[in-house]
Amino acid sequence: MYNLAKVSSPIKRLRMTNKMTTQPYKGSRDFYPEDMKIRNFIFDTWKKVCKSYGYEEYDGPFIESFELYAAKSGEELVNEQLYSFEDRGKRKVAIRPEMTPTLARMVASKINELPKPIRWFSIANFWRYEKPQRGRGREFFQLNLDMFGIEGVEADLEVISTSVDILKSFGAKETMFEVRFNNRRLADDIYRNLGLSTEQKKLVNKALDKKLKISQEEFNSWLKDDAKLSNLELKSLNDYLENPMPMVNQLVPKSKGAQEVVKLTELINNQGLSMFVKFDPTIIRGLDYYTGNVFEVYDLNPQNIRAIAGGGRYDDLVTVFGKDKLTGTGYAMGDITLKDFLKGWNLLPKFESECEYLITLWPSEDPKFLKKELEISKILRNNGLNVQTWLENNTKLEKQLKYADKKGCKYVIIIGENELKDNLVTIKNLKDSTQETKPLEKFISDIK
Amino acid sequence: MYNLAKVSSPIKRLRMTNKMTTQPYKGSRDFYPEDMKIRNFIFDTWKKVCKSYGYEEYDGPFIESFELYAAKSGEELVNEQLYSFEDRGKRKVAIRPEMTPTLARMVASKINELPKPIRWFSIANFWRYEKPQRGRGREFFQLNLDMFGIEGVEADLEVISTSVDILKSFGAKETMFEVRFNNRRLADDIYRNLGLSTEQKKLVNKALDKKLKISQEEFNSWLKDDAKLSNLELKSLNDYLENPMPMVNQLVPKSKGAQEVVKLTELINNQGLSMFVKFDPTIIRGLDYYTGNVFEVYDLNPQNIRAIAGGGRYDDLVTVFGKDKLTGTGYAMGDITLKDFLKGWNLLPKFESECEYLITLWPSEDPKFLKKELEISKILRNNGLNVQTWLENNTKLEKQLKYADKKGCKYVIIIGENELKDNLVTIKNLKDSTQETKPLEKFISDIK
């Protein structure tokens, strides 16, 4: 038994203050039933496509040790966006800002038992301390899909295909989105060709990562002023970005990155995916761990400029746990930008009410009405139907019907004096306002 | 662009240290695909039953303001178990330890728009800083089901019925579990009858709350030493606990609580639920906000002594937000004790592999094999099947078959030289080890 003396006065005081806010914490969302329907619609579609490719669902804990993120997440994330704190046992912990570190830990833990390739997906909630804005909250859900153990670009093709299939499953057409891919190794070789230093390469990558959101002038001045590119280097780089294929083809004999891009392009063409997936030398991905092909999925609606999804090939996520290297490829898709995408292109369906029957309760003190009502509700439920019952025996029928209407119920059952006496039910169809009375037995056999 | 100079040296150092642990944070769980199947099985059953009663799914954020819990959660929770911390903007926040405060906030926020009764459920993850032990982690999932706006015990009956139906949906019989209910108002009246002071009542409630876990001697000495009950008071209390109905019936004329217990018992009998649901005067529920009927669901397996579910009637959760009182009744069911219940009674099914087809890739440099493989996989997926493809063109068929076997795939498709030439497929049934070769067209029309 805990000590009553522990009841601290600040809590007592808080209980006294009046009128707490009903707003959720800044940057987070309440999911009312109508929001939840959209969320479930998105999750169900994600799951369906992932499973159709043989991916299996996993999940990890919402809190991990701080060290895991310090070791595996990007520095911006860890230094500026992580929700981290000390637990009551003085362990430094953090709320997950992304899935990859957890995924790497879980795969490393069972690396020898798991048959390869490993195909896994998860749908989870993440938190980052960011300034909330369109397409970005502090809290968001992500689909994470990854395949481990296959080096070839065929695996990259598959994960890209799943992202295309997901958007197509929502009804999206090629005019609505585009997958843009590049290759980290190729980018390195291009920069080496231009004679850039390691430091300059990093800065060029960072500038490319922001290119969509800044003007060409800003881009140029970043490269000149920050990355110290000469005018000639800048021109060569811009020429490459403008028309990359000649240089890519020229690099093929000696550049693994160029070979991967050419092969992936070929596979994309063979698979009839070229209207959805395009090579784009400006795609870099912020995170350090990518090593091969990288890609992002963009909404072609100019109102929604943040990527819907992004990912790529990483060659080493598990050695930090003392395991042998294991290559992987995968991506994350966020629910907020995806919802903006679906809304923008009018791809969100109208969700029907899930209420199939409201069984009304005849306004009477006689307990037989309730008994009959509950008896019928049980039968309908046992037949897989969603049934609400009215539970107050002093409510006018009119009010009960109004409730059924507000909740979008398809049918209302009425059992009045006559129905009860003769074992009948009256069924009101709220869609077409028809009504019929029939023997309970007949009604039940019709249901079945 | 973020400043590279910000890369802090502690992180760099962490990246250097070797061999991080692959263990999850203490008291939390990794859900590998085989664990996830159990979790989804539990969640799906929860959802199915909740929806069959017309409850709608909602969710709230994982983080709320500390004030919300300080105002609405039990003091033990807030003082000893809450994961709370300051965010980067110096707001005091907490990770949700229970759903009710969020639920109260969300209902309060839309109290005038929401048609009554409100029937809602959620399935969410919660965190409490507790000593991990059997049936209890620091992290757990809970179903929360609540109905607002109906005062009568008919509403209590309904929420109790949903808990019984959930366990029955898992295949549980009346020998496996028991719902035990009591009434807070009745308990108050009983204590008043015994002449106990407010402080004594509280201590008696606390002793009752632990009664299952302590001996009768301990119980008696707590009541004598801590609650200062006289020998006569103690005897009267124990007599009541032993054989409560005479005193309950005697109190009916003047005690609302006794009336509610008698009426609920009647409804339970009428509904044929008396083998599952029993009056038990020792059920109290720790939380302050309960006001009427309260109940807990117990596993009858003596190995699993923590309650599977618990809840009850609360009359005022929203006035703290400046709203009018709104009565509610509901409960939470935890996934950990439920899983222990299902395991203990052998109610967890064997989950079949979700892999329906593995399409093998003939070991050959010829790209036609991959093309054909991906073409067939697409057709099967479009027909709703779960299909994995082998993506390396240098793997012996034997190894691919071994993988299919490990993953529990039902069928393997083989397209070798002959099949490719004549547009055939060989289908191997891994369950009965039969095999047949047929025209691709025929195979596809059979699938459809």
A241-279 pLDDT, tens digit per residue, is 999 999 999 999 999 999 999 999 999 999 999 999 999
A282-316: pLDDT as tens digits: 999 877 789 999 999 999 998 888 899 999 999 88
Give the C-alpha separation, A180 to A279, whole Å: 6
A64-115: pLDDT as tens digits: 999 999 887 778 888 889 999 999 999 999 999 999 999 999 999 999 999 9
pLDDT band at B82 (very low <50, low <70, confident <90, very high): very high
Q: Identify whether residues B189 and B97 lie together within a single domain.
A: yes
pLDDT value at residue B18: 58
pLDDT value at residue A355: 95
Q: Identify whether residues B377 and B276 lie together within a single domain.
A: no
One-letter-per-residue 3-state SS of A296-341: EEEECCCCCCCCCEEEEEECCCCHHHCCCCCCEEEEEEEHHHHHHH
| Overall average pLDDT of the B7-35 stretch | 74
* Residue A22 counted as domain residue: no
pTM score of the predicted model: 0.94
Cβ of residue B319 closer than 8 Å to a chain A Cβ: no
pLDDT band at B60 (very low <50, low <70, confident <90, very high): very high
pLDDT value at residue A8: 41
Q: Identify whether residues A68 and A175 lie together within a single domain.
A: yes
Q: Identify whether residues A87 and A218 lie together within a single domain.
A: yes
pLDDT value at residue A339: 97
- Beta-carbon separation of A14 and B70 below 8 A: yes
pLDDT at B184 over 60: yes
Best B8, B20, B366 residue to mutate vs chain A (most A CBs within 10 Å): B20
A159-205: pLDDT as tens digits: 999 999 999 999 999 999 999 999 999 999 999 999 999 999 989 99
Q: Identify whether residues B251 and B296 lie together within a single domain.
A: yes
Span of A52-56, A435-439, B15-19, B23-27 with lowest mean pLDDT = B15-19
Closest C-alpha among A126, A14, A119, A133 to residue A69? A126
Q: Identify whether residues B254 and B278 lie together within a single domain.
A: yes
Domain boundary among A293, A320, A344: A344
What is the CATH classification number for the domain harbouring B161? Answer: 3.30.930.10
| Tally of structural domains, chain B | 2
- String of DSSP letters for A182-200: EEHHHHHHHHHHHT--HHH
Q: Identify whether residues A312 and A392 lie together within a single domain.
A: no
pLDDT value at residue B14: 47
Best B4, B8, B11 residue to mutate vs chain A (most A CBs within 10 Å): B11
Cβ of residue B431 closer than 8 Å to a chain A Cβ: no
- Report whether B234 contacts B224 (CB < 8 A): yes
Rg of chain B on CA atoms, in Å: 29
- Report whether B362 contacts B376 (CB < 8 A): no
pLDDT at A416 over 60: yes
| Overall average pLDDT of the A36-43 stretch | 98
- Beta-carbon separation of B270 and A367 below 8 A: yes
> B322 to chain A: which residues are within 8 Å by CB?
18-20
Share of chain B above pLDDT 70, in %: 96
What are the backbone dihedrals phi and psi of residue A133, each rounded to the nearest 5 degrees, phi first? -155, 180
Closest residue of A to B91, CA-based? A25
Out of A25, A150, A358, name the one closest to residue B63 (CB): A25
Q: Identify whether residues B302 and B366 lie together within a single domain.
A: no
Residue A423: give the domain boundaries. 357-447
B404-437: pLDDT as tens digits: 999 999 999 999 999 999 999 999 999 999 999 9
Mean pLDDT of chain B: 92
pLDDT band at B235 (very low <50, low <70, confident <90, very high): very high
For B:273-312, CB contacts with A below 8 A are: none
For A:161-200, CB contacts with B below 8 A are: 165
pLDDT value at residue B17: 52
pLDDT value at residue A4: 33
Give the gap in angstroms from C-alpha A190 to the nearest C-alpha of chain B. 22
Cβ of residue B8 closer than 8 Å to a chain A Cβ: yes
- Beta-carbon separation of A391 and B53 below 8 A: no
pLDDT at B5 over 70: no
Give the gap in angstroms from C-alpha A300 to the nearest C-alpha of chain B. 24
Q: Identify whether residues B362 and B238 lie together within a single domain.
A: no
Out of B105, B374, B384, name the one closest to residue A271 (CB): B374
Higher pLDDT, residue B74 or B120 = B120
* A441 HSE (CA, 13 A, CB side): 2
pLDDT value at residue A2: 34
| Overall average pLDDT of the B320-335 stretch | 94
Best A381, A387, A393 residue to mutate vs chain B (most B CBs within 10 Å): A381
Cβ of residue A431 closer than 8 Å to a chain B Cβ: no
Cβ of residue A324 closer than 8 Å to a chain B Cβ: no
Higher pLDDT, residue A317 or A414 = A414
pLDDT at A12 over 90: no
* Residue A20 counted as domain residue: no
Give the C-alpha separation, B295 to B330, whole Å: 10
Closest residue of B to A404, CA-based? B115
What are the backbone dihedrals phi and psi of residue B201, each rounded to the nearest 5 degrees, phi first? -60, -45
**What is the interface pTM, i.e. ipTM, of the complex?**
0.93
Span of A7-11, A21-25, A367-371 with lowest mean pLDDT = A7-11
Cβ of residue B70 closer than 8 Å to a chain A Cβ: yes
> B77 to chain A: which residues are within 8 Å by CB?
none
- Report whether A133 contacts A99 (CB < 8 A): no
pLDDT at A13 over 70: no
pLDDT value at residue B6: 40
What is the CATH classification number for the domain harbouring B378? Answer: 3.40.50.800
Cβ of residue A399 closer than 8 Å to a chain B Cβ: no
Q: Identify whether residues B302 and B361 lie together within a single domain.
A: no
Q: Identify whether residues A202 and A176 lie together within a single domain.
A: yes
B154-180: pLDDT as tens digits: 999 999 999 999 999 999 999 999 999
